[in-house]
Amino acid sequence: MNEATPPKEERTAALSGLGTSRKRVEDARFTQGKGNYVDDLKMPGMLFGDFVRSPYAHARVKSIDTEKAMALPGVHAVLTAADLEPLGLHWMPTLAGDKQMVLADGKVLFQAQEVAFVVADDRYAAADGVAAVKVEYEELPVLVDPFKAESDGAPVLREDIADQTEGAHGPRRHPNHIFTWESGDREATEAVLAEADVVAEEMIYYHRTHPCPLEPCGCVASMDKVNGKLTVWGTFQAPHAVRTVASLISGIAEHNIRIISPDIGGGFGNKVGVYPGYVCSIVASIVTGVPVKWIEDRSDNLMATAFARDYWMKGRISATKDGKITGLHCHTTADHGAFDACADPTKFPAGFMNICTGSYDIPTAYLAVDGIYTNKAPGGVAYRCSFRVTEAAYFIERMIEILAIKLGMDAAELRVKNFIKKDQFPYQSALGWEYDSGDYHTGWDKALKAVGYEDLRKEQAARVEAFKRGETRMLLGIGLSHFTEIVGAGPVKNCDILGLGMFDSCEIRIHPTGSAIARLGTISQGQGHATTFAQILASEIGLPAEDITLEEGDTDTAPYGLGTYGSRSTPVAGAATAMAGRKIRAKAQMIAAYLLEVHDNDLEWDVDRFVVKGSPERFKTMKEIAFASYNQAIPGVEPGLEAVSYYDPPNMTYPFGSYICVMEINVDTGTTEIRQVYALDDCGTRINPMIIEGQVHGGLTEALAIAMGQEIAYDEQGNVTTGTLMDFFVPTAVETPNYQTDYTVTPSPHHPIGAKGVGESPNVGGVPAFSNAVHDAFRAFGLTQSNMPHDHWRIWKTAQSLGLHD
């Protein structure tokens, strides 16, 4: 009866499961202009909201005159803090345990802060209204330098909490101080550093930048007063968390709130937080009784919604004369802007900055982070990064290079000497993490061979000589980077946001004819979840991926989850998907056993069916089982085939990789040309190689931008000088190189399918690779450290400071 059974390989291929470069199911609509982004929504009677924003970085708001604006045709309402106060909505909690003004309450604390919300017929009328609102300000002294925050005479920014000596993360020692967070053993580290053969010390600055997704943030809020239901469509990377927060701050019962994330045009961390635009739109919809849309423009996005980085990391690293690292000390000054609005897990106000021992076996370490308020926009989000891992990786990868200089060693050799060895995993780091798995030496060797490292060094040495002889003005930089990420937040025992445990979820329903729908607590912003999660399931339950619909982002239908950021979708929701699939399979096994009249244990799984052990001709396919589950009365078994899994990961996952960038630098102009970028990633089990490669290309390009020119800069008055794409660098196809990708596979031992997450690795590993290339080019001329971004002017200045210009 089974002569028609196709061979295993054929049946496996038909599933398009794990490991296949399945084409994306999302692309049909995106390539035809049929994506459904929030600004595409149009509803009867819908109004449009826009903000009056502060031109000042620090000022008292003396008065707000809305009369002229209200008199304009098409303007329906102008909300100020005074209107929100009776509702208790003039301030809102941030995801970091701080609170943030929704609309200016007495003063403004950063340029472009939201002051009033004008609601009008359309975006043009709203902009007219915005221009007609007259606000009288009294300028106050501005604080932009975090190192001056605690000096005498520093202006007190947060008058609302000025006298609170205890914050959400422990004691505060100054009104402009947010928290001190420590990790590791301070005394032991000091002792090691004091006795070390060699100590390298440097301030590493990772500048302020911005995720700048192509689609800005926005929402449509619709309060249905008849049914008492609030629906909000918006750019939410964490829709369920937004629902809970919305319920807590508005008092509307959670079941009466529905949050929907439609298609999202890139997030990169920018769309994790809760913004005043969301709150104001909700209030405006309640006030006006019709749906209200708010869509920020690019300047609003760059100037007011969440920035990333801005960490001043003072490091000391010690080693023996022959290059064995003995200790690491880091003190970080974290510029958080006017409100602490990071999206870090509660117990980690500096995120996972304490992964800063990186890929190295450093026996003793200590980290302290001081969070500081300044007159800048709030944020500090994980821009394509798992909570400050980019900062940590940049810090350690710079410190390694600097130590290599101090030791007079080759930086690749220094890394090899200090890598955590394969047999040390699971590895307990000095700062408290348990690295799940890794094999750093193998990937590293592969990378060095792939780029021809030895030859490159020879070429570089020859170039230096030629330069010195005046034969060339081009220098060659070899940028090395070996990163270890920590992603997949995370175990509920130590990871929560606002008390919400960071598990994730998947719910599967198999239809009678053997197709399925799966819903997850995450939300894709371009990662292709509908494609890859179906692949995980296909392999688990033996139904073709193309027969599995994936749904995310609607809190009324999807199971609760913490969303997509910090490379957590695959490690957490991916695991939930596999686990839910296994529950399906377990029930399917019982059904098959009944149908085949054997004991459960007499069956074995074979790609897409259960087969009676030793009798390959007796089997039931998943399709048959699905049908039977609905249509056959099976004693002791409920009808239907559904499962749900809430997955609380036992540990984080630790993807890693070896990146190398070869860069030509023109000493006369400071311009750079990327000659080669080689990126070897180990993200454990690979679900869809095509998508992994795409993620690596994208992350590297963001890394290139950050390292080479992209920044959110402020002048001394707190004005943003990079508030549009005229000044905020986003690379085009012209300056973006081609990338060479590669991989090794070291599965995570605790993840159900061994996957680790990859989306953020290229940003984490890419930035140090590019930055190290710049530094490396000048190493022969005495450069130890210079600040990113390495734009042409800064590189030119570096060359000048080293006496390389005439």
Partner 1 sequence: MEKMHVKMNVNGKEVDLLTEPRTLLIHALREELGITGPHVGCSSSHCGACTVDMNGMSVKSCTVFAAQANGAEITTIEGLGSPDALHVLQEMFKEHHGLQCGYCTPGMITRAYRLLQENPNPTEEEVRFGIAGNLCRCTGYQNIVKAILEAAAKMNEIKESA
Partner 2 sequence: MYQTNYVRASSTDDAVAKLDDEAKLLAGGMTLLPTMKQRLASPETLIDLADCGLAGIEDLGDALKIGAMTRHVDVETSEIVAKSIPALAVLAAKIGDRQVRNRGTIGGSIANNDPSACYPSAALALDATIHTNSRDIAADDFFVGMFETALEEDEIITAISFPKPAAAAYAKFPNPASRYAMVGVFVAKGDSVRVTVTGAGEDGVFRHAGLEAALTSSFAPESVEPVTVSGEEMISDMHAASDYRAHLVKEMTRRAVAACGWP
- Smallest distance from partner 1 to CB 261, Å: 12
- Smallest distance from partner 2 to CB 806, Å: 9
> Residue 76 and residue 46: Cα distance in Å, rounded?
12
- Exactly one of 10, 40, 136, 465 binds partner 1 (CB under 8 A); that residue is 40
Q: Of 174 and 792, which has the nearer Cβ to partner 2?
A: 792
> Residue 148 and residue 387: Cα distance in Å, rounded?
26
E strand spans, 349-430: 364-373, 379-381, 427-428
Contacts with partner 1 in 85-124 (CB under 8 A)? 122-124
- Exactly one of 5, 13, 19, 35 binds partner 1 (CB under 8 A); that residue is 35
Residue 40 site contact among partner 2, partner 1, none (CB < 5 to 8 Å, cut-off depends on kind): partner 1
Residue 721 site contact among partner 1, partner 2, none (CB < 5 to 8 Å, cut-off depends on kind): partner 2
Contact status: 791 vs partner 2 (CB under 8 A): yes
Residue 526 site contact among partner 1, partner 2, none (CB < 5 to 8 Å, cut-off depends on kind): partner 1
Contacts with partner 1 in 548-577 (CB under 8 A)? none
- Smallest distance from partner 1 to CB 663, Å: 17
Q: Residues near 126 by Cβ (< 8 Å), separated by ≥ 6? A: 48, 49, 50, 75, 118, 119, 120
**What is the DSSP-derived secondary structure letter of residue 418?**
H
> Residue 76 and residue 653: Cα distance in Å, rounded?
51
Contact status: 793 vs partner 1 (CB under 8 A): no
CB 259 within 8 A of CB 229: no
Q: Residues near 69 by Cβ (< 8 Å), separated by ≥ 6? A: 75, 78, 118, 129, 130, 132, 133
CA dihedral 752, 754, 759, 763 (to 10 degrees): 140
- Smallest distance from partner 2 to CB 793, Å: 5
How far is the CA of 477 from the CAs of 98, 206, 393, in angstroms?
43, 20, 20
Q: Of 212 and 680, which has the nearer Cβ to partner 1?
A: 212
- Exactly one of 160, 600, 668, 673 binds partner 2 (CB under 8 A); that residue is 668
Q: Indicate if the alpha-carbon torsion angle 294, 298, 301, 303 is positive or negative.
A: negative
- Smallest distance from partner 1 to CB 525, Å: 6
Contact status: 736 vs partner 1 (CB under 8 A): yes
Span of 127-135, 283-291, 438-446, 642-650 interacting with partner 2 by CB under 8 A: 127-135
- Exactly one of 32, 227, 601, 631 binds partner 1 (CB under 8 A); that residue is 32
Q: Residues near 733 by Cβ (< 8 Å), separated by ≥ 6? A: none
**Cβ neighbour number for residue 198 with a 10 Å cutoff:** 17
Contact status: 675 vs partner 1 (CB under 8 A): no
- Exactly one of 216, 501, 649, 768 binds partner 1 (CB under 8 A); that residue is 216
Contacts with partner 2 in 721-740 (CB under 8 A)? 721-722, 725-730, 732, 735
> Residue 728 and residue 204: Cα distance in Å, rounded?
22
Residue 32 site contact among partner 1, partner 2, none (CB < 5 to 8 Å, cut-off depends on kind): partner 1
Contact status: 124 vs partner 2 (CB under 8 A): yes
Q: What are phi and psi of 591, to 5 degrees?
A: -65, -45
Active site residues: 237, 384-385, 760
Contact status: 30 vs partner 1 (CB under 8 A): yes
Contact status: 709 vs partner 2 (CB under 8 A): yes
SS3 call for 484? strand
Half-sphere exposure of 537 (CA within 13 A, CB side): 38
Contact status: 673 vs partner 2 (CB under 8 A): no
> Residue 359 and residue 656: Cα distance in Å, rounded?
8
Residue 430 site contact among partner 1, partner 2, none (CB < 5 to 8 Å, cut-off depends on kind): none
Q: Of 426 and 731, which has the nearer Cβ to partner 2?
A: 731
Contact status: 373 vs partner 2 (CB under 8 A): no
Q: Indicate if the alpha-carbon torsion angle 54, 56, 62, 65 is positive or negative.
A: negative
Residue 266 site contact among partner 2, partner 1, none (CB < 5 to 8 Å, cut-off depends on kind): partner 1
Q: Choose among 478, 557, 474, 467: nearest CA to 521.
A: 557
SS3 call for 91? strand
Q: What are phi and psi of 765, to 5 degrees?
A: -85, -25
> Residue 775 and residue 764: Cα distance in Å, rounded?
18
Binding site for partner 2 (CB under 8 A): 124, 127-128, 131, 668-670, 709, 713, 721-722, 725-730, 732, 735, 791-793, 796-797, 805
Binding site for partner 1 (CB under 8 A): 23-24, 26-35, 37, 39-40, 42, 122-124, 212-216, 263-266, 268, 297-298, 525-528, 690-691, 693-695, 697-702, 724-726, 730, 732-734, 736, 738-739
